[in-house]
Amino acid sequence: MTQPSAGQGASQADKHCTHWIGGKPWTGTASQHGEIYNPATGKVSGTVDFATAAEVDLAVQTAAAAWPAWRDTSLVRRAAVMFAFRDLVRKHTDELAALITSEHGKVASDAAGEVARGLEVVEFACGIPHLLKGSFSENVSTSVDAYSIRQPLGVVAGITPFNFPAMVPMWMFPIALAAGNAFVLKPSEKDPSTALRLAELLSEAGLPDGVFNVVNGGKEAVDSLLNHPEVKAVSFVGSTPIARYVAQTAMTAGKRVQALGGAKNHMVVLPDADLDQAADAAVSAGFGSAGERCMAISVVVAVDPVGDELIAKIKERVAKLTVGPGDLPESEMGPLVTQVHRDKVASYLDSGVADGAVLAIDGRGHPITGGSKDGFWLGPSLLDHVKPGMSCYTDEIFGPVLSVVRAASYAEAVEVINANPYGNGTAIFTNDGGAARRFVKDIEVGMVGVNVPIPVPMAFYSFGGWKASLFGDTHVHGTEGVHFYTRGKAVTARWLDPSHGGVNLGFPTNN
């Protein structure tokens, strides 16, 4: 089968994705392949090569060979490549968004927004000359100066999920590359085209061949990266069980790790909140991107007596939502990524009812506008009177299912959240500044929103949770991201003063 690049207008029937190694598509023959689906039709739209340990080793060794020259490239030159890449991504945003929609299923506006959020990290990385500034102390002892510098690690790897095929990789590689590392990306095999197109744009921006490589595949590719001796650090975003595995395996192999896991994000609604604002937030944060995002609100904690009124307002909004193919302008929510995932998410509606919850909105009956009946559809759904012991509460559903937990007080709401093993994101809706300030202090979660349902920080802050939502050293992007992809070195230097008599640096005279 031919192997047109993701950005060269390959037809859906002919789409074939392979690896990107040494600045070009891999030309070998893969022993294993995966299928790529269009979630809106349920049909296979292409295939992707799966890497064995040999292909991973080739990519890593290629990166290792390219790294020394890139490490020695000036900060200004590295920043210039990032600036050029930024401009190219902005120019090709619609194209990248279309690739995301075709393989993930999210609506076009959401896909374009994903690219824009990834670009924020690229723009942050453009400031690498400032971000890598060290410190200097003169005369710490007699004629002795001390200073610190940060240096790149070498070859680093990123393993990224299906739900954000552009944004999450761009949380990682722009900072890693700008800091002077070489990078090997293993994107999700479910939607690989976006990563390959980004590789083409990096090359067009002037990144030397071999500094950025992409390998596709499954567990063998992941394990090969985690255990490869040339890989110095691994970044990962995915479910908590896999994040724990990635962290343990990579740490055992002596690598630096940042592994972001799953989430069960709560949104507390206090009695004084603006319920229209809270309902808007619950719908957008719970059902945007079909709920397939680690910062989605999956639990609304309604503090008495607002629960019934809030749910009524949510129902009004859900009834008006247009669910359909992501490439239709009127679609507000698209399909789920695979049939297997769709069926698993839908199963929580039945298990929730069996456990005693009330199915207030059944998304299985939501109309689909303009979509094939074979698509992986599930409309927005809501389970009310959910209790913390139910599987629909304890599991990360990762789909358009919103659970409502009733709480008698602010204190009970905080207790529910802090007892949860996850600690990724949370939000509070209130008009009471004192309550909001107290919530920020009390809550045991890494990212907090006040009247903001999805508190993803800007690129110059760092993204990441607490508890079972994070394994390893640091959060991603921001200052912590720069520190993750570099290591500090302290230097103490003593230079003899010219007056010691060994050398005379004065103006030469004729005696």
* Residue 377 near residue 323, CB atoms below 8 Å: yes
Residue 264 contacts residue 299 (beta carbons within 8 Å): yes
Closest CA to 486 of 135, 180, 229: 180
8 Å CB contact between 332 and 319: no
Ordered alpha helix ranges (H), 355-429: 391-394, 410-419
What 8-state DSSP symbol labels residue 267? E
DSSP-derived secondary structure letter, 333: B
392 catalytically annotated = no
CA separation, residue 122 to residues 173, 234, 250, 405, 441 (Å)? 9, 19, 26, 39, 31
What does the alpha-carbon distance between residue 485 and residue 447 come to, in Å, rounded to a whole number? 22
Q: Which of 17, 126, 294, 392 is catalytic?
A: 294
CA 159, CA 226: separation in Å to the nearest integer?
10
The string over 453-468, giving b where at least 16 C-beta atoms fall within 10 Å of a residue's C-beta and e elsewhere, is: bbbbeebeebbbbebb
Rounded Cα distance, 237 and 218, in Å: 15
Q: So which residues are the catalytic ones?
A: 294
